[in-house]
Structure formats: structure tokens, C-alpha cells
């Protein structure tokens, strides 16, 4: 379980998150929606310890991550939690195999044979066999995204944070990624936090939806019931009402 309690962070005197409270239950897919620039990525980066809040605490399985050193974060948090970044974030100069091996760097105990097996299994899980020796430039955008996900699951994380995994992909590729998120959730039991603007898909693949607005979670609901809510801000957002600022 991830517990975010009264999280506050700002940059250059401007408050971005102003008391976020949110709990992510084990096994669920929780989607976070909100206007661009509202702090969704900042929230995920706080959860995985890439940013430190000004106030508040985050507990992951009861351990407070907000006070952890980089060493502790790598040892206790990033072995069980990983993030899929918005733009895939693969290294162009490295093969697919070497990119995925990067995901193993927090654990020094893997033999070469183990590493090869893990790379193979991770690629197989995302439906990409036999591309170990290819470079990112030789792959399509959708394949790059899936390699990014393969890297993120290499250590069999309990938690995955996805930052806009389908933004910029065509509807068919978006469906492939959405199906993959559900498959990893069901087959590997990966608790998932997903930032997405694709409200239609969110309703289909998530368990719950939370809306971040003006620094706070203003509404959270069952995803299957997201089209029947009585929260005005939430409704305006999912219907694309331009009066929402």
C-alpha cells in the first residue's frame, strides 16, 4: 500500500502540490487525471523519491520514503517500485538488452546467465521476443514504449508508476499499451498508478480514478462509475469543458 499524507511541494515560491492525500491499495490500477502542469508527474516523482516534498509523508508498505537517503531509496524502494517515463527514456546508444539490464543495477547479485534470462522474460512479457540486439532507433515508437515497460518490470516490481504511457501513440498502439498494463496487473499482480489523459481508456482499465486539481485530490471514485459522478470539477474535466482552469 502507498499512503500519501498531506504532501506539499512548490518550486520557486509557487505551490504545486498543496496537501495531497491519497492511498493506493495493493493490486489495484489507480489512474490520476488533471490539467497539464497541475503536478501529476511531480506527485509520481515524490512517490518514487526522485523529488523530496516540502511537507508531508509518503509511506510505501509502511516505510517512510520521504526521509530516505538515495542509498536507502535504491535498496528498499526502487527494488519494488519502478516508473515508466513519459517518453520511454531509453538510451539510444545502448541495445535493447543493455537498456533492460539497467533495470537490474540496484541488485548486484545477478549472474550473466540470470541477466540474459531476465531480459528474455521481460521482453516476452511485453510481446517483444528476439530484439535484444536492436537499438532503440531501429524500433517503432510503440515498441520503444514496450521496451521501457520491459525494463521497468525486470526486477518484478510490486508497484509500477506509469507517466502518460499512451500520450502520442495512435489509438491502436494505445490499446496495446493499455492491454499490457492490465496484463501486468493481473498476471504479475503489479499495483499500478497511471497518469493518463485518455479518459475513455481509464474508465475501462482502472479500478479507481483520482483527480488532481489546484494542488489537491478533489475527487476519487470507482472507474466503472466515473461517468455518473456528481463532482462538478471532475465532470468538467472528463467532458473536456473549456471553462475549467
Interface with Mg ion (CB under 5 A), residue from 31, 41, 191, 201: 41
d(CA 182, CA 162): 12
Q: Which three cell numbers stand for residue 80?
A: 519494488
60 interacts with, out of ligand ADP, Mg ion, none, CB within 5 to 8 A per kind: none
- Report, in Å, the least distance between residue 136 CB and ligand ADP: 23
- Report, in Å, the least distance between residue 6 CB and ligand ADP: 18
38 interacts with, out of ligand ADP, Mg ion, none, CB within 5 to 8 A per kind: ligand ADP
CB-wise, 14 or 108, nearer to ligand ADP? 14
122 is a site residue for Mg ion (CB under 5 A) = no
34 interacts with, out of ligand ADP, Mg ion, none, CB within 5 to 8 A per kind: ligand ADP
Number of H helices, E strands in the chain: 8, 10
Question: Applying CB under 6 A, which residues contact ligand ADP?
Answer: 11, 16, 34, 36-42
Eight-class DSSP state of 164: S
Q: Which three cell numbers stand for residue 125?
A: 512479457
CB-wise, 29 or 212, nearer to Mg ion? 212
Question: Which residue blocks in the chain are alpha helix, DSSP H?
Answer: 40-47, 70-72, 96-102, 112-125, 141-153, 171-187, 199-205, 232-238
CB-wise, 41 or 176, nearer to Mg ion? 41
CB-wise, 38 or 176, nearer to ligand ADP? 38
CB-wise, 81 or 211, nearer to ligand ADP? 211
Eight-class DSSP state of 222: E
What distance separates the 2 farthest-apart alpha carbons in the chain? Answer: 57
Give which of 196, 105, 121, 140 is closest to 132, Cα–Cα: 121
Residues that bind Mg ion (CB under 5 A): 41
Amino acid at each position: 500500500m502507498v499512503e500519501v499524507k498531506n504532501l506539499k511541494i512548490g518550486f520557486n515560491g509557487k505551490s504545486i502540490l498543496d496537501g495531497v492525500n491519497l492511498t493506493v491499495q495493493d493490486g489495484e490500477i489507480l489512474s490520476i487525471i488533471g490539467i497539464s502542469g497541475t503536478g501529476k508527474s511531480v506527485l509520481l516523482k515524490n512517490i518514487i523519491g526522485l523529488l523530496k516534498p516540502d511537507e508531508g509523508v509518503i509511506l510505501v508498505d509502511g516505510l517512510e520514503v520521504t526521509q530516505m537517503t538515495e542509498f536507502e531509496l535504491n535498496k528498499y524502494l526502487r527494488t519494488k517500485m519502478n516508473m515508466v517515463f513519459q517518453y520511454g527514456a531509453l538510451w539510444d546508444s545502448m541495445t535493447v538488452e543493455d537498456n533492460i539490464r539497467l533495470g537490474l543495477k540496484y541488485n548486484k547479485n545477478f549472474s550473466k546467465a540470470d541477466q540474459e534470462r531476465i531480459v528474455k522474460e521481460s521482453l516476452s512479457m511485453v510481446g517483444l521476443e528476439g530484439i535484444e540486439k536492436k537499438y532503440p532507433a531501429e524500433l517503432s515508437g510503440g515498441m520503444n514504449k514496450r521496451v521501457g515497460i520491459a525494463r521497468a518490470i525486470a526486477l518484478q516490481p510490486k508497484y509500477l508508476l506509469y507517466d502518460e504511457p499512451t500520450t502520442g501513440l495512435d489509438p491502436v498502439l494505445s490499446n496495446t499499451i493499455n492491454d499490457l498494463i492490465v496484463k501486468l496487473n493481473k498476471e504479475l499482480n503489479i499495483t499500478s498508478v497511471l497518469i493518463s489523459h485518455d479518459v475513455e481508456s481509464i474508465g475501462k482499465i482502472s479500478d479507481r480514478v483520482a483527480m488532481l486539481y489546484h494542488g489537491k485530490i478533489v475527487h476519487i471514485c470507482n472507474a466503472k462509475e466515473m461517468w455518473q459522478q456528481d463532482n462538478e470539477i471532475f465532470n468538467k474535466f472528463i467532458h473536456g469543458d473549456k471553462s475549467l482552469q
